[in-house]
Amino acid sequence: MLSKIFKWLLEKKVPYTSALVLLCFIWAILVASFGGLLVFIGADFEATGTRNIFFLIYFGGVGLASLFILIEYGILRFFGIKLERKEFRALNDSIINGHINPDVSAEELSRIYYALVNIARWKGARDLLGGEIVIVAVSIGEWFFSGQMTNVPIIFIGVNIAVLSLFVYAIVFNDTITSSARRECKVLLAKKGVRLEEFPFLSLRNKSKLFIILIGLALLSLLIFIKPFNPLIVALAVTTLTIIGLLNNFLFESIYIEFAEIEESIKGLTEGKEALFFSGSSDKGMFDLSKN
C-alpha cells in the first residue's frame, strides 16, 4: 500500500525526498496523537490544571519539529525554493518519476547512492532528536506552570513511546522504500565501470531487535492504564517480553542460518565452479530454492 502511494506521488511530480517525508509525516501525526492520548489518560491534569498547557506545548512542538524536517526534505520545492539538505538535492534533481536519470555522471551517481543508503539513518536520528526536544519542552512547561513534577514521568514515558514508534517506522520505511532506487543506482554505476562500495545498514538481527522494541512499547502503553501501580503486573509484562524476545531471537536465527547456507553454497560460482545447494532447513521455501 505505502509503496503504491509513494509511486503515485512520484508520478504526480512530487520531489523524491518530499514524497518520502510526506508519508513519514502522516505516521508522525498518528503516533503523536497516540502519545498525547497516553499522557492524557495517565496524567492527573485535574490536580495540576495544566491540560491545555500540555496540549499547546506538545502539539506546537510536534508541529515545529515536523515543519523543520519537511523543509529539510525539500517540501519548499512546491513553491520553487530549493532549500533542502544538500544530500537530498541530488536525489530531487536526478530522480524523476521514481527513476534515476541515466545521463548523470558517475560522480553524481555516487552521491545519490550515498544519500539513498543513509537517508533512513538520517531520518531516524532527526526524529529522535526532534522528539526528545519536544519532551524536554513539555516537561519544563509542565513544571513551570504547575510547580509540580507529578505528571512529568507520565509525559516522559508516553511521549517517548510515540518517539520510538516514529523512529522504528522512519528507519524501516525509508530503508525499504528506497531499495528500488538503490538497485537502479547500482546498475547504472556498474554500466559506467564504477566499483561500488557497499554500505549495509539493517541486518536481520537488527530488524529482529526492532520487533522486540515494538512489543515492549505496546506492553508499556498498556501498563500506563493500570492504576494504582502493581509490581506483579509489571513483573508479568517483563516476563512476557523476555519470552517473546527469546522466541523472536530463535526465529530470526533460523532464518539467518538459511541465508548462511545459501552464501556457502554459491561461493563456488565466483570461482567458475558448479554450485550445489543442499540445505538443512525443513522450510518449504528452501526446498523450492534447492530444486531450482
Residue-wise pLDDT for 57-109, tens only, equals: 999 999 999 899 889 888 888 888 888 888 888 888 888 888 888 888 888 88
> In this prediction, what percent of the chain has a pLDDT beyond 90?
11
Give the confidence band of 138 by pLDDT, cuts at 50, 70, 90: very high
**What local confidence, expressed as pLDDT, does residue 253 receive?**
75
Does residue 30 fall inside a structural domain?
yes
Does residue 238 fall inside a structural domain?
no
* 96 backbone dihedrals φ, ψ, rounded to 5°: -115, 130
Does residue 273 fall inside a structural domain?
no
Does residue 119 fall inside a structural domain?
yes
Domain that holds residue 26: 1-202
Domain count, the chain: 1
Q: Count of CB atoms within 10 A of residue 89's CB? A: 18
CA distance linking residue 195 with residue 116, whole number of Å: 17
Does residue 221 fall inside a structural domain?
no
Does residue 274 fall inside a structural domain?
no
From residue 199, alpha-carbon distances to 117, 196, 292 in Å are 7, 9, 30
Does residue 219 fall inside a structural domain?
no
- Least-confidence region, from 94-103, 114-123, 237-246: 237-246
Does residue 254 fall inside a structural domain?
no
Q: Which residue has the cell 509513494?
A: 6
Give the confidence band of 52 by pLDDT, cuts at 50, 70, 90: very high
